[in-house]
Amino acid sequence: MIATITYRPNAQKTPGLFDLLLTREVLLDICQLVTGQSQYRVIRDLSSYNKGRLLYVEYNGVINYVSLSEANIGGRNSSLQSVPTAINLFYEDHRLNKRLCYYFISHIGNAFTDYHLFVYRLLMTAGVEFLNIDRYYHTPVLPYKNVDELIIDRRDNQTSNSSNNSSYVSKSRDKIQIYAKTFGASKYESTLLAIAISHIADRPIDLFNICEQDLKSLPQSSLNTIDSLGNISVLNTSLFLDKRAYFDSGKTELRSASYLYNLFNRLGAKRCALCGCEIPEIIQGAHIWGVSQISKSTEFDDDTKFGHAVSGHNGLWLCSNHHKLFDSNIILFDNDGCVRIKDDLVTDDVAFIRSTTFRSSLDAHVLSDEFRGYLQRRNETIDLTHTQKLAM
């Protein structure tokens, strides 16, 4: 049996690009890797340009989608853009016997940065088969086994590359949350995160479409793919939508994806500022200047109040235990960020707080000028004279 290889020769900006890349040697190699034999014929499809850097190998009743790497490996954005397009096209195809693969063509540049490896693991988790990665990278690259492993890898990758803070993944007790940036190249990463997580999720997924200037959302092809997965709810959010929810709530509370996204963007992954706990299900965003206090202020108009309510500088990550102690003013922070506790606590309560609190002051990176301003406003309503610094 002879395989049929079909490709579109023209790239969107470079006519004839894939005629140059897909030499006889490359086509033969792909045919052998995909089908296990070397007989093929080629069809050049001139109907449109090549989307997803794809070619198609049909053999023995199976359609194989093969997405090609770049020949010149650039930044993370350019390397990522084509693959979600290929995945969306794959999901649009309703044939049962199909397979999605990735093939490295000969390239220049570093295709194996930490971020590229993160993307390859996402692709493997999403079901993409790598045909020849072992020729270029000799350490095993494996799919993620669970969401916790993915969150840790994502956190470490963002820590090592602060410019890579676009989309975030977290968990609560009953949901997985994806805070999906939709502007520019970030929409491709958000699409890939959603598809990969859907394959390993142990609970329903909420994908918060973080819209830019109330204009952007994930592409419709991505939304169609996400909808077909069956375990992801897409929730559009933006400052406009959150603002409306804030005003409709009576301005005494705010459950805002924008606020949590801003905390992620400023503070990074969830980690309690007082005990270091990183269990995402119990880490919460704690307002410094509380929403109820903000709503009572006569100093600002409603739009400015809302801006303070969702500011990433107006909050900390705290575990549920420390969050309740903070909201109850049992644990406090003075205007320099030092941890204080109430004077009248019984000895056992003081001992418990000391045994579960491992920092006597907030980290310097938390104490921005804006954060200090919110802390001062909170402390205007609290009598700190009847408190003492927490002795470690």
Each residue's pLDDT, cut to its tens digit, for the chain (392 residues) gives 899 999 999 998 899 999 999 999 999 999 999 999 999 999 999 999 999 999 999 999 999 999 999 988 876 656 667 888 999 999 999 999 999 999 999 999 899 999 899 999 999 999 999 999 999 999 999 999 999 999 999 888 776 555 445 789 999 989 999 998 877 677 888 899 999 999 999 999 999 887 765 546 788 999 999 999 999 999 877 555 566 666 666 655 666 788 999 999 899 889 999 999 999 999 999 999 998 899 888 999 888 988 899 999 999 999 999 999 999 999 999 999 999 999 999 999 999 999 999 999 999 999 999 999 999 999 998 989 889 999 87
**The predicted structure's pLDDT at residue 249:** 63
Domains by residue range for the chain, with CATH: 3-143 (3.40.50), 146-237 (no CATH), 251-392 (no CATH)
**The predicted structure's pLDDT at residue 239:** 58
Structure tokens at 31: 């045919």
pTM: 0.87
Q: Please give the span between the terminal C-alpha atoms of the chain, in angstroms, as a whole number.
A: 75
Which DSSP symbol is given to 72? B
Structure tokens at 242: 């959150």
Structure tokens at 334: 């003075």
Q: Which of 159, 176, 179 is nearest to 168 (CA)?
A: 179
Place of tokens 């406090």: 332
How many C-beta atoms lie closer than 10 Å to residue 39's C-beta?
Answer: 12
What is residue 66's three-state secondary structure? strand
Q: Are strands 331-333 and 339-342 parallel, antiparallel or unpaired?
A: antiparallel
Residue partners of 12: CB distance under 8 A and separation at least 6: 49, 50, 51
The H-or-E segment that residue 317 falls in is strand 315-319
**The predicted structure's pLDDT at residue 235:** 86
Return the exposure string of 378-388: e unless at least 16 CB atoms fall within 10 Å of the residue's CB, then b. Answer: bbeeeeeeebe
